[in-house]
Structure 1
Amino acid sequence: MTAIPEGVAPLVFLTGASSGIGQALALAYARQGWRLALVARRVESVQIWVEQAGIAAERVRIYAADVSDRQSIIAAAESCLNTWGVPEIVVACAGISHGIDTAERADLDVFEDLLQTNLLGLAATFHPFLAPMRVRQSGTLVGVASVAGIRGLPGHGGYCASKAGVISYCESLRMELAPHKVRVVTLLPGFIETPMTRGNPYPMPFLMPVDKFAEQALRAIAAGRAYRVIPWPMAWVVRLLRWAPAVLLDRVMGRRQRKPRKTSS
């Protein structure tokens, strides 16, 4: 990678900074001395968190944007480019999770929201940085997927489809950008202690504190790992899921309690 000018802290551009994995990653980078370009829908809550975390104001810029609104996230990225230049790392972390029932008309709209936020929002986040990173011949794009993207889960089809799309999209992008020395890292979290998993009504094996996830994620990103499942025991589950025959998967997972629907009471 191109060397960062002496005395200038490296820059990370990160979506989903208002809570969960995004906020934990932001704090981990802040503790390593990075400058933070943080994107969130709830700007005021992020500003309060930055103050409470003791992060120096001159090291942070907060951009109001919704990744499901393509022009909104592109405008935030362009503002960052104009203010601070090209980041060393871009982390597309913003995401939503809801159960769906395809028999319910309202859930088709929920499905669309899942794809718009989790998959197309990720591509829109990366879009403004591709050309300048290619010119610079360095940079890292990080897509936060999920182990739920490996195989389908009952009642979770929209989320699984969106995260499977992230995995395939990032793999395609990685091969496209390799000649330009731009890395693409795909992170696959298992069950992480965040507001998103708090209401899950089913067992969550290997449930991991979000700060521990952030530590391991930063190491994987720094190493330029193409693909990393966190925590590591979940990587073995992923291997089993990949190769499990459909008849066995149906028998085991078919009895699994479903993710609550957004539109359910």
Structure 2
Amino acid sequence: MTLSTSEVAAWVGGVIWPFVRIGAMLVAAPVFGAGTVPVSVRLAFSLVLAWALQPFLPAVPAVDPVSIEGGLVTASQVLIGVAMGFILQMVFSAMVLAGQAVALSMGLGFATLIDAQNGVQVPVVSQLYVILATLLFLAFNGHLLFLDMLVRSFHLLPVGPLMLSSDALWQIVRWGGTMYAAAILVALPAVASLMLVNVAFGVITRAAPQLNIFAVGFPMTLMLGFVLILFSLPTLAPRFSGLLDQSFALMRGVLGG
């Protein structure tokens, strides 16, 4: 049996190019790319996915991986994977921003923890919102929808040297405004209520200057902050679900679907 160079390149490329896109996506995506997930596990998972999805993917062109064209194909697959993961990452970043706004309003801005998702220090309230967002993401089968979008990406934007268009990149940039708006909407009930509490304490201070407002106001603000977070939790699920829908719609738009 004789094998030509093009046949070997097609067989190898059928796994290598999907592996590059999937690996780049898992590095940038939340949950999958969390700092608590070892790099070896992500690499093995990417390779298994690339091998398992090969029968469902369109034919991959025979390109020499060490050629200039192969370098362009690799760069395009990395860009596509990172863009998809980054869009979903901003959904979780909106939860972090919402938690930071609530924490600053209730006086817990100084209480920080290491966020295992991003490897940076965030307020404990942000960590709470990230944990809730992760649970909602798994409860809504977001991980399965994300993998389904990954398979669709190979049909919408097949493996090749084609890069994302400038319009697609600008869509991702404009998505940042949606992220900040969603963070404000999530944090608005607690922040607005805490602002009224602070105004009330200001009136009390003017009426009774001898009252030590720091000894009374700080624990009251903390307690009311946690109560307001508890009462605002029912609104978190629809907000997060709508933001997820927008992120998947953006992915389809970026990929040309």
Q: Above 0.5 in TM-score?
A: no
| More helix as a share of residues | 2
| More strand as a share of residues | 1
The structure having more radius of gyration, on CA atoms, is 2
- TM-score (norm. length: structure 2): 0.30
Instruction: Tell me which of the two structures has the higher relative contact order, counting C-alpha pairs closer than 8 angstroms and 6 or more residues apart.
Output: 2
- TM-score (norm. length: structure 1): 0.29
